[in-house]
Amino acid sequence: MNSASNTYKRTASGADRERLILDNVDYVGKILSTITVATNDPDERENLKSAGMVGLIESANSFDISLGISFRTFAFPRIRGAIIDELRKLAPVSQKMLHQIGLIKKAWQLLQPPVTPEQLAKKTELSLDQIEASLEAMRFLEPEDWNDLSCIVHQSWKSDEFAPEHEIEKLEMKELLAESIGELPEKERLVVTMYYSDELNLAEIGAVLSLSESRVSRIMAAAKFRLKEQILARLK
């Protein structure tokens, strides 16, 4: 955790809030780099970034260290939510995509966890490409029902940020993530590893794998769905 989060008090000064914002501008870009379904238009992406900055500022204004979580854990859903709200204005989802999402949600409810994209394709009679595109859209349309992998990880860290048991819980989650990532199909494993371990954005991953950014985004969506299912099943 950065020093700004460590020194933050319940009643923060303006300097504290400014430090939190400046130290986490890159985090807004990191979150935005996973949201490529919307647009490649520079002006529209700038609007998304500005929305994320609003989420960051609001997070800095309301963050309370007594919550027992890091600032980035606290800020993540607020930054991402602000970006998604702006995304919905820029890129309304087609009726065809909404229909596919409806089929997938019904199939998901009927299948035994952990559910895989392949099982969804078989149950809905959609192609795997259609499943991946729908999962990608669902991450933005219904973030509360279809949480991103990062949301799941953040929500699982319930203990005091500075308590010894928190470090144990964090280590257990990392081990669970590593085990689940190791079980992913090869291409999904490569994309997730390059994103989380090597900290490459989707465009950079696409360059390494000779894939378009949109294709990498869909692979990431499928991988995150698969990981979410595996982790939730193991945490029960």
DSSP 145-200: TS--HHHHHHHH--S-TTSHHHHHHHHHHHHHHHHHHHTS-HHHHHHHHHHHTS--
d(CA 216, CA 210): 10
Can you tell me the mean pLDDT for 100-113?
93
pLDDT at 228: 85
Please check the confidence at residue 22 and state whether its pLDDT lies above 90.
Answer: yes
DSSP 115: P
Q: Are 137 and 93 in contact (CB under 8 A)?
A: yes
- Architecture of the domain made up of 1-92: Orthogonal Bundle (1.10)
pLDDT at 164: 45
| Sign of the Cα pseudo-torsion (202, 215, 35, 72, in order) | negative
Can you tell me the mean pLDDT for 113-117?
93
pLDDT at 169: 56
According to the CATH classification, is domain 94-236 in 1.20.140? yes
Domain coordinates in residue numbering, the chain: 1-92, 94-236
Instruction: Return the amino acid letter for 135.
Output: L
Q: Is the peptide bond before 114 cis (omega within 30 degrees of 0)?
A: yes
Task: Of 140-154, 156-170, 214-228, give the range with the top mean pLDDT.
Answer: 214-228
d(CA 227, CA 70): 23
d(CA 179, CA 160): 25
150-204 pLDDT per residue, tens: 555 444 433 344 444 455 456 666 777 788 889 999 999 999 888 877 878 888 8
